Chain A
Amino acid sequence: PAPPALLPYVPQVPITALPGKLTATTFALERPCCIFDHQANASDAVWLVVAFANASGAFRNPPSRADVPLYEQLPTAHSYMTLETPVHAFACSAPSPALLRVGGDTACGGQEACNGPLPSPGPYRVKFLVMGCQGPKAETRWSDPILLRRASSPSTIDPVPAHRSSTVVVIASILASLGAVLAAAVLGAVGAKAWGSLCSRDSGTSTHRSYRTHHILPVLSRPPGCRCTPPGLGCFAPRPPAPCPAK
Chain B
Amino acid sequence: MSKSDGGIRILQGLLVFGNVVIGMCGIALTAECIFFVSDPHGLYPLLEATENDDIYAAAWIGIFVGFALFVLSILGIVGVIKSNKTLLLVYIILMLITYAFEMASCITAATHRDFLTPNLFLKQMLERYKKSEPDNNNDRWMIDGVTDTWDKIMVQNQCCGVLGPSDWQEYTSAFRATHNDADYPWPHNCCVLDDQGSPTNLDGCKLGVPGYYNSNGCYDAISGPVNTQAWGVAWFGFAILCWTFFVLLGTMFFWSRIDY
Contacts and interface: CB of A to CB of B under 8 A. Distances in A.
A157 B180 CA distance: 22
Given A18-B209, A151-B172, A172-B107, A25 B182 contact: yes
B130 interface: no
A178 B111 CA distance: 19
B147 to A, nearest CB: 16
Contacts of B208: 18-21
A18 B171 contact: no
A200 to B, nearest CB: 13
Given A18-B209, A168-B114, A175-B238, A23 B182 contact: yes
B221 interface: no
Given A25-B182, A154-B171, A189-B255, A168 B110 contact: yes
Interface in B195-241: 203, 206-209, 213, 215, 234-235, 238, 241
Contact of B126 (A101, A154, A175, A185): A154
Contacts of A186: 92, 96, 252
A154 B172 contact: yes
A94 B241 CA distance: 74
A117 B180 contact: yes
B171 A152 contact: yes
B248 interface: yes
Interface residues of A, number: 47
Interface residues of B, number: 51
A149 B169 contact: yes
Interface in A63-81: none
B106 A24 contact: no
Given A151-B172, A154-B172, A174-B238, A182 B96 contact: yes
Chain B interface mostly: helix
A181 interface: yes
A202 interface: no
A206 interface: no
A164 B107 CA distance: 13
B127 A154 contact: yes
A19 B164 contact: yes
Contact of B107 (A171, A181, A193): A171
Contacts of A189: 252, 255-256
A106 B180 contact: yes
A27 to B, nearest CB: 10
Nearest to A164: B114
A167 interface: yes
A25 B171 contact: no
A26 interface: yes
B100 interface: yes
Contact of B172 (A153, A158, A176): A153
A171 B239 CA distance: 10
A179 B104 CA distance: 11
A161 interface: yes
Given A175-B241, A189-B255, A161 B117 contact: yes
A101 B205 CA distance: 12
A28 B209 CA distance: 12
B185 A23 contact: yes
Contacts of A104: 182, 203, 206
A165 interface: yes
Contacts of B83: none
A148 B115 CA distance: 34
Interface of A: 18-21, 23-26, 28, 97, 99, 101, 103-106, 117, 149, 151-154, 157-162, 164-165, 167-168, 171-172, 174-176, 178-179, 181-183, 185-186, 189, 192-193
Given A25-B181, A159-B123, 14 more contacts: A19-B165, A24-B181, A149-B170, A151-B171, A154-B122, A160-B117, A167-B110, A167-B234, A171-B106, A171-B234, A171-B235, A172-B110, A178-B242, A182-B99
User: Nearest 4 CB-CB pairs, A to B?
Assistant: A20-B208, A19-B208, A159-B120, A154-B126
12 contacts: A19-B208, A19-B213, A20-B165, A149-B170, A151-B172, A152-B172, A153-B171, A162-B117, A168-B107, A171-B235, A172-B110, A176-B103
